[in-house]
């Protein structure tokens, strides 16, 4: 077996500097504290702890501790934290990596100059938290400014800010360089004014490049580093992508040597916070083990990382499941490895004695137990299910698990599907909160689990359903047919009625035989309306509520015959007369000359809108739907002493 160790593996400059700072302060004999783990390696931190070094997570802890030296970790802190630490009167030693300090200076300067800061990296990594704390407001440099942290392509795709903003892009020093280029390209295509600062540490780029080359030439890879080390995790991802047989360990005890018995070329690399002695230990043991020894150990070791095992539940806590998998150690499934549902009490979903399958994450989790995952196994099955649905254009049904910025998240067998807001409906949805907990149908239109990009589409189904309903609707409706629908939208000129497949327009002039001044006072959205089809032009449907049986002119000839005295209401006025509504749909003209025996200049001089009047019908024309009224005809004639004038007056009437 050929063992090759990467030349760049182990402590980088910044980590070595931070470790040296702690060793130097310990030698002084003073009490030494580090704000957060000095580096992300549990072995190094545990060793310093044995030397009397205390890790603090909050400045307030210093109130209860004796005076000493506070060392700021290699990841750096925000300016606020730095000032708080200084306020306790302890000696402050800054072990922040110089590359990280440079980012602090860049974001501080650029944010004061008015740039919106884009940070590429893990939002919860201490280095990112520290960088955020150095962003400043343009108007008041003592205040923090707006910033955005982007970790993946989906977040980059969904990133939107006003186009007049200037952007400055920086990255976590240990960020994957290839991923950095991809995310920058996505953001740049949006058209913003951008400054890109490649703040990835040179040592990180070299280590990642070397890991890529070594893993592509090896049968198996060993990546050594702390569980919480960001740069080690990225090395693992790079190696795993090139070499399927890649194993992530913290120390020699985590290494299952039986896994390597059939490999000819094995590569070893390590994160920037991995001590050289651990790397040498692994290399030495790998080189010294004989093939016979590996075969002998295989008799004991019967499980491997990545294996799917079946076991019986021995015990259940609120956050942990203990499983008997037939191995010398018990298997443990934590809450985070069982489900994506936060704060779920596992005792409510799993029972002692239950048989369940799980996948091995680590044969030895560092405490002698086997670390298992149920969630990832379920997610793999879910991904398989989603892949099949994607290929077959199958309609899936699931409950909305979360309402996110820009869309909805649904879960199929622990595999997540994102439905963007633009694909939720065929119309703009302003309030997505209404979908929380709702069960919806969708299809998978994009499937790329490696990039965690599985996209669902509900809009297509809605449009297809509407198209089917529309076709069925137009096959059964005809001019004159009575239809029923719900009011979808109301405008000043009418109301749109959803007929189930297409909308019909009920124009304001067709809402009543009478006069309608404002459709919104007559109808409400969601109200059911029964109307008849007045006209169909292509896909445009005109509706009417003016049913012929309710036409007020049917019996008007007898009700408003010439000579009948009627009562009506003044509806509107012109200079030549007033229109009087006798009943909804029937208006009559009261000419200005027929308002009074006295001279009337304009109707408005003696009448008011909505005023009730009594008049005599002096003309009725059913064909032209015209009725003329006279109030003057009901008034007593003017008395006169000249019989001839009286006779003329009577003749006029």
Catalytic one among 25, 42, 106, 127? 127
Q: Is the dihedral of CA 182, 187, 188, 190 positive or negative?
A: positive
Whether residue 484 lies in the annotated active site = no
Quote the tokens at residue 634.
Answer: 């009901």
Q: What is the 3-state secondary structure (H, E, C) of 242-272?
A: HCCCEEEECCHHHCCHHHHCCCCEEEEEECC
Contacts of 174 (CB under 8 A, 6+ apart): 121, 127, 200, 201, 204, 230, 231, 234, 272
Strand, coil or helix: 312: strand
Cα dist from 425 to 145, 357, 394, 441, whole Å: 35, 38, 18, 11
Whether the CB-CB separation of 36 and 61 falls below 8 Å is answered with no
CA dihedral 166, 168, 169, 170 (to 10 degrees): -170
Strand, coil or helix: 211: helix
Q: Is the dihedral of CA 378, 383, 386, 391 positive or negative?
A: negative
How remote is the C-alpha of 283 from its chain's centroid? 46
Which class for 363: exposed (0-12), middle (13-18), buried (19 or more C-beta within 10 A)? buried
In the numeric block, the tokens 């606020």 are attached to 80
Alpha helices, H only, 217-359: 230-242, 276-288, 291-298
Strand, coil or helix: 382: helix
- Packing angle between helix 13-27 and helix 98-112, nearest 10 degrees? 110
SS3 content of the chain, % helix, strand, coil (to 5): 35, 30, 35
Interior angle at CA 622, CA 616 and CA 627, nearest 5: 30
Side-chain-side CA neighbours of 450 within 13 Å: the count stands at 4
Catalytic residue annotation? 127
């Amino acid at each position: 077996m050929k063992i090759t160790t990467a030349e760049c593996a182990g402590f980088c400059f910044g980590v070595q500097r931070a470790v040296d700072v702690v060793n130097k302060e310990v030698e002084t004999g003073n009490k030494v504290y580090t704000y957060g783990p000095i580096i992300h390696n549990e072995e190094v931190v545990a060793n310093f702890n044995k030397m009397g070094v205390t890790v603090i997570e909050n400045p307030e802890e210093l109130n209860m501790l004796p005076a000493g030296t506070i060392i700021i970790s290699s990841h750096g802190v925000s300016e606020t934290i730095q000032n708080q630490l200084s306020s306790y009167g302890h000696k402050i030693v800054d072990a922040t990596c110089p590359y990280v300090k440079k980012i602090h200076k860049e974001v501080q300067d650029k944010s004061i100059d008015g740039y919106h800061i884009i940070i590429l990296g893990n939002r919860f990594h201490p280095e990112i938290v520290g960088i955020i704390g150095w962003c400043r407001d343009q108007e008041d440099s003592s205040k923090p400014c707006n910033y955005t942290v982007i970790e993946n392509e989906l977040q980059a795709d969904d990133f939107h800010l006003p186009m007049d903003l200037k952007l400055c892009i920086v990255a976590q020093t240990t960020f994957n360089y290839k991923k950095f280029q991809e995310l920058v390209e996505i953001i740049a295509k949006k058209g913003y004014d951008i400054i890109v600062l490649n703040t990835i540490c040179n040592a990180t780029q070299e280590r990642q490049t070397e890991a890529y080359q070594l893993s592509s030439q090896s049968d198996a890879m060993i990546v050594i580093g702390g569980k919480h080390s960001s740069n080690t995790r990225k090395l693992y991802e790079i190696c795993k992508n090139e070499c399927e047989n890649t194993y992530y360990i913290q120390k020699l005890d985590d290494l299952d040597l039986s896994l390597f018995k059939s490999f000819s070329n094995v590569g070893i690399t390590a994160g920037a916070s991995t001590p050289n002695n651990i790397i040498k230990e692994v290399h030495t043991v790998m080189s010294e083990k004989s093939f016979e020894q590996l075969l002998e150990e295989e008799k004991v070791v019967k499980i491997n990382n990545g294996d799917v095992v079946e076991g019986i539940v021995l015990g259940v806590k609120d956050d942990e499941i203990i499983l008997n998998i037939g191995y010398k150690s018990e298997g443990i499934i934590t809450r985070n490895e069982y489900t994506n549902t936060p704060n779920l009490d596992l005792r409510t979903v799993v029972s002692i004695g239950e048989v369940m399958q799980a996948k091995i994450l680590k044969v030895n989790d560092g405490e002698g137990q086997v670390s298992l995952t149920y969630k990832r196994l379920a997610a793999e099955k879910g991904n398989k299910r989603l892949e099949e649905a994607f290929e077959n254009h199958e309609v899936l049904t699931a409950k909305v698990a979360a309402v996110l910025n820009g869309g909805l998240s649904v879960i199929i067998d622990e595999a997540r599907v994102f439905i963007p807001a633009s694909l939720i409906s065929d119309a703009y949805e302003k309030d997505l909160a209404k979908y929380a907990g709702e069960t919806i149908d969708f299809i998978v239109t994009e499937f790329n689990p490696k990039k965690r990009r599985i996209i669902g589409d509900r809009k297509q189904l809605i449009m297809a359903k509407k198209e089917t309903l529309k076709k069925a609707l137009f096959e059964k409706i005809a001019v004159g047919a009575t239809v029923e629908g719900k009011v979808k939208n109301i405008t000043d000129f009418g109301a749109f009625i959803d007929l189930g497949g297409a909308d019909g327009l009920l124009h304001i002039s067709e809402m009543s035989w009478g006069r309608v001044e404002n459709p919104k006072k007559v109808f409400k959205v969601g109200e059911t309306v029964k109307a008849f089809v007045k006209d169909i032009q292509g896909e445009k449907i005109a509706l009417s509520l003016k049913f012929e049986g309710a036409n007020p002119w049917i019996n008007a000839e007898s009700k408003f015959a010439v000579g009948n005295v009627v009562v009506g209401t003044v509806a509107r006025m012109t200079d030549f007369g007033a229109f009087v509504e006798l009943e909804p749909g029937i208006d009559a003209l009261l000419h200005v000359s027929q308002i009074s025996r006295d001279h009337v200049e304009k109707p408005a001089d003696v009448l008011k809108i909505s005023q009730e009047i009594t008049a005599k019908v002096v003309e009725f024309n059913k064909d032209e739907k015209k009725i003329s009224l006279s109030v003057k005809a009901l008034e007593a004639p003017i008395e006169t002493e000249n019989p001839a004038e009286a006779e003329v007056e009577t003749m006029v009437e």
